[in-house]
Amino acid sequence: MNPLTIIGIAVALAMDAFAVAIATGVSLKQVSLRQTFRLSWHFCLFQAMMPIIGWGLGASMHGYVEAYAHWLAFILLALVGSNMLKEAILTDEDEEDEKKSPRKDSTKGMTLVMLSVATSIDALAVGLSMSMLRVSIIAPAIVIGIVAGLFTIAGLHLGKRVAQLAWLSIWAEIVGGLVLWLIGLNILRENGVFLAIF
């Protein structure tokens, strides 16, 4: 496969990770080196693994995976987006309350796993496609993972900068939660779900 084509695919697949990273940076407000590493490493790893898994599943599982993958991505993004909206709307201005119950760190635990899976579902489909085209998957998977990691770092720190503007912070977090919902809805739209309804 042409290197430019691989890079184009990698950039396209990294857009969801970039948008989610921006929303995460806004939510966290302060981003440590450890948080940056965790989020970028997991997004990189999942984006690199998913095409390999998709390629391994091959054509025989294509219909089954394709039928449900977009719903899984939507549900995971909607859950995380809803949590961000809830935190933004229920934020208490009192700093003492915030110290008692700090914001949930999206770069840890199940939230991190859910975001990693949700942003890499498209990469699974790309792996399935490459399997049907009989294209080698290792080099594309590495490029896809590295590009996703770099876009995640950029998005996370862009989100942190936006969050530092105090008057914009809560609105940015609301927008971040809505963006996750919109990404999920767009995944459904791209898979023709709304055509079947209307």
pLDDT in tens, 44-97: 999 999 999 988 887 566 666 667 777 877 887 787 778 767 766 775 444 445
**Beta carbons within 8 Å of 3's beta carbon, 6+ residues apart:** none
Residue 34: DSSP 8-state: H
The per-residue pLDDT for range 30-43, each reduced to its tens digit, is 889 999 999 999 99
> Is the CB of residue 88 less than 8 Å from the CB of residue 170?
yes
Residue with tokens 């950029």: 154
Cα–Cα distance, 191 to 189 (Å, whole number):
5
Residue 101, sorted as left (phi over 0), alpha (psi -120 to 50) or beta, turns out to be beta
Q: Residue 149: which of 21, 53, 50 has the closest Cα? A: 21
Residue 60: DSSP 8-state: G
Tokens of 92: 């208490």
Q: What is the dihedral of CA 92, 95, 99, 105, to 10 degrees?
A: 60
What pLDDT does 45 receive?
96
Tokens of 189: 């739209």
Cα–Cα distance, 107 to 146 (Å, whole number):
18
**Residue 145 pLDDT greater than 70, yes or no:** yes
The per-residue pLDDT for range 150-191, each reduced to its tens digit, is 999 999 999 888 877 655 656 766 777 787 788 778 878 887
CA atoms within 13 A on the CB side of 12: 12
Q: How confident is the model at residue 99 (pLDDT cuts 50, 70, 90)?
A: very low
